[in-house]
């Protein structure tokens, strides 16, 4: 089954999976080829080199792990409920898929930095808009958006590292998100 030709996208998704569970250094052509039951001959037909594969994987991540969540959450009309939904969705997603934390772990890599910059701006901007919609003045909204996002990032890191300090069960996590939300949305 699936003995058909490997596509460029197949390599890219495999590379993204490799980033998620072994970091950027885990994106190596030969091991990846073994996992796909192929050889380097296939790879170097689709890509000029390893860097191109990494770029393709990162673009995949950029498209699938930001906009899709924003869209899914956009149906909710009330800003507060939208924020709650966004946070719980994002944090619960980070529980089972550590790709965000894995990408962040290579934040200084020259191929990662520009993608990360775009994704960060988009997310922080969206959060800030959310707080603006709740009635906070622009400067306040930006601060709270940044705070919310950094808290999410830190949380994702703790979860990926398996730190016991972070809540692990789904229920505890929902309670935690609720209380966090109370703090973040309390009037100045």
Kindly list the residues in this chain that would bind a second copy in the complex (CB under 8 A). 23, 25, 101, 104-108, 113, 116-117, 120-121, 124, 140, 143-144, 146-147, 149-155, 157-158, 160-166, 176, 179-180, 182-184, 186-188
Taking alpha carbons only, the member of 73, 75, 68 closest to residue 86 is 73
163 contact, one of DNA, a second copy, none, CB 5-8 Å limit per kind: a second copy
Q: Which is nearer to a second copy, 4 or 171 (CB)?
A: 171
- The least CB distance from residue 27 to DNA, in Å, is 7
Q: Which is nearer to a second copy, 5 or 164 (CB)?
A: 164
Q: Which is nearer to DNA, 29 or 83 (CB)?
A: 29
Distance CA 146, CA 151 (A): 8
The binding site for DNA (CB under 7 A) comprises 5-6, 27-31, 33, 37-42, 44-46, 48-51
181 contact, one of a second copy, DNA, none, CB 5-8 Å limit per kind: none
């Amino acid at each position: 089954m699936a003995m058909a030709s490997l596509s460029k996208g197949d390599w890219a998704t495999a590379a993204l999976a490799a980033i998620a569970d072994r970091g950027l250094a885990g994106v190596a052509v030969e091991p990846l080829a073994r996992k796909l039951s192929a050889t380097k001959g296939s790879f170097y037909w689709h890509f000029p080199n390893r860097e191109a594969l990494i770029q393709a994987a990162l673009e995949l991540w950029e498209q699938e792990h930001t906009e899709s969540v924003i869209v899914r959450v956009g149906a909710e009309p009330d800003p507060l409920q939208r924020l709650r939904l966004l946070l719980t969705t994002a944090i619960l997603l980070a529980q089972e898929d550590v790709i965000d934390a894995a990408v962040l772990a290579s934040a200084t890599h020259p191929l990662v930095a520009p993608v990360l910059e775009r994704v960060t701006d988009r997310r922080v901007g969206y959060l800030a808009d959310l707080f603006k919609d709740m009635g906070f003045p622009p400067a306040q909204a930006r601060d709270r958006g940044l705070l919310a996002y950094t808290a999410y990032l830190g949380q994702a890191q703790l979860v990926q590292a398996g730190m016991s300090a972070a809540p692990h069960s789904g229920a505890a996590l929902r309670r935690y998100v609720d209380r966090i939300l109370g703090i973040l949305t309390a009037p100045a």
